[in-house]
Amino acid sequence: MSAVAVDGVWKFYGDFPALRDVRLEAAAGSCLALIGRNGAGKTTLLRIIAGFSRPGRGHVRIFGKAPRETETRRQIGFIGHGISVYDELSALENLTLFGRLYGVADPRRSALEWLERTGLERVRNGLVREFSRGMRQRLAVARAFLHEPSVLLLDDHSRPWTTAPSRCCKRCSARLSRRVRPSSFRPTSCGKPWNWPRTSRC
């Protein structure tokens, strides 16, 4: 069974097809990159795979199940262009909340562990709205890895991010791959003006 399977996916905005009959599979343990120019539909496809958006046609399966199912969502880690944390909560409160949503056995303990791994343990009780951009990005990394996902989706995480959070994300990816079964799927853009979809395995 494929870790990720995309079968005949279309996405329309009005009459405009942002995605046209996209088909791909990623086996457990593989690393797959989506390469294309801005506006090619990479983020749109990633959001459909993550279950944030519905396709106009076709379907996506994560280990054979629909991505919008609760149990499937708990297998997916996602880092997009936004930070996706709550400004009025502390770093610890944010991760504890997401841990509960993901069904982590001990949300607070996992939150503290990932705050330490991302270098945020000293500001764990600070409100996120007071964080620098780099600190917020590291918190987003912790949120994505908190529940030890089987499928990891990274949407062009390296270019708009500061250097330290990007390095942090790579270290966490390497650490996670040693702790859970290897079934990561890591699409991203390389920023090259090639026609999409083109896939590159790393």
In a domain, 202, yes or no: no
- Sign of the CA dihedral 28, 73, 153, 200? positive
In a domain, 75, yes or no: yes
In a domain, 187, yes or no: yes
In a domain, 197, yes or no: no
- pLDDT of 100 strictly over 50: yes
Domain region containing 141: 4-192
Average pLDDT over residues 25-46: 89
Count up the domains in the chain and report the number: 1
Residue 113 — very low, low, confident or very high, per pLDDT cuts 50/70/90?
very high
Q: What is the pLDDT of residue 162?
A: 54
What residues contact residue 20 under an 8 Å CB cut-off, 6+ apart?
A: 10
Q: Indicate the DSSP class of residue 21.
A: E
In a domain, 198, yes or no: no
The CATH number of whichever domain residue 136 belongs to comes to 3.40.50.300
The pTM score is 0.77
CA distance 24 to 32: 10
Q: What is the pLDDT of residue 156?
A: 65
- Range of weakest confidence among 66-75, 97-106, 160-169: 160-169
In a domain, 201, yes or no: no
In a domain, 151, yes or no: yes
Alpha-carbon Rg for the chain, nearest whole angstrom, is 17
What are the CA-CA distances from residue 178 to residues 55, 67, 81, 152, 162 (Å)?
Answer: 33, 24, 26, 14, 25
Residue 88, judged by CB atoms within 10 A of its CB (0-12, 13-18, 19+), counts as exposed
- pLDDT of 19 strictly over 60: yes
